[in-house]
Amino acid sequence: MTRPTRTHALRLLIAWAVLSVIGVLIGLQLQLPPGNQSQQAVDESWLLQLMTIISTPVFVGVVLFILYSAFAFRQRRGALEDGPPSYGNFRVQVAWVAITSVIVFIMAGIGISELASTANGTNFTSSSQPALATSGSVGTTEADALQVQVIAQQWYFTYRYAGYGGVESLHLVLPVDSNVVIHITSTDVLHSFWAYQLGVKADANPGVDNVAYLTTLRTGLFTVRCAELCGIWHGNMSDTDGSVVSQADFATWINNLQQSESDVTLPPYAPYYFPSPRVKGS
């Protein structure tokens, strides 16, 4: 018994529509990483969700067609025969090209508008920024944002706060509702600074000041990891004690740090560093 092509097409269309709607509804409920601790993380989660929702009907269509064909058009028992030859289908070809073009143009439009919105040199998106009580006030431009230097080294990260005399910390602590410019560098080999929940990941190279922008939105802990194989203890280069704290807590914390390091002589603050030359026998 062979069914007309129309019946197969109609069945596939109905099943595809129903499953796609279910898939998109599930996609809308997803909480995708990296989360909502910073504006950048929110943007990344939103983009991931959008991509998931756009690709769900495509995924459902392809898998459904394969499964349906394997069942409905399978070789029955008996003599092995070739299927009927196919000569292309004009309507399917036009629809195929048109639909994929529309999807690609929508993606390109989103990409161009995102690029245009960050073309002013920073990608700070929040409009109003309360200023910090102490030095290094936080504003809406790169110049008055909090400057933090991430120094990668085998096998941990340290953080220096340029606006606070270049004090150095073992954990990254940031004030909430603030624009932060992160300067990432290394003193030895290639590392990669990855503050997972903040949605920031950038290479840490010696002799390079690699800049990333961040707008903190919510207090809480975050994880920092090295994301570039950098030597035998690379796997240990992880810190779960990064934190976004209230502006008052940040002021207290940085004050205490300044006090505790008042009698410590740190190397001079520089935009970036080079590995010290390795002397024979050292």
**Residue 241 Rama label (left phi>0; alpha psi -120 to 50; beta):** alpha
Compute the least distance from the CB of residue 189 to Cu ion, in Å: 7
Is residue 237 part of the contact set for Cu ion (CB under 5 A)?
Answer: yes
Residue 277 tokens, joined: 């030359």
Compute the least distance from the CB of residue 209 to Cu ion, in Å: 18
Compute the least distance from the CB of residue 168 to Cu ion, in Å: 18
CB-CB contact of 204 with 191 (8 Å): yes
Question: Using CB under 5 A, which of 60, 226, 245, 254 touches Cu ion?
Answer: 226
CA–CA separation, 235 and 98 (whole Å)? 47
The span of 15-23, 75-83, 184-192, 267-275 binding Cu ion (CB under 5 A) equals: 184-192
Compute the least distance from the CB of residue 87 to Cu ion, in Å: 58
Only one residue has tokens 């756009």, namely: 54
CA–CA separation, 189 and 204 (whole Å)? 8
Amino acid letter, residue 178:
S
Compute the least distance from the CB of residue 184 to Cu ion, in Å: 12
Is residue 191 part of the contact set for Cu ion (CB under 5 A)?
Answer: yes
The span of 27-35, 74-82, 230-238, 269-277 binding Cu ion (CB under 5 A) equals: 230-238
The span of 16-24, 50-58, 186-194, 256-264 binding Cu ion (CB under 5 A) equals: 186-194
Helix (H, G, I), strand (E, B) or coil at 105: helix
DSSP letters, 67-78, are HHHHHHTPPPSS
Interaction site with Cu ion (CB under 5 A): 191, 226, 230, 237
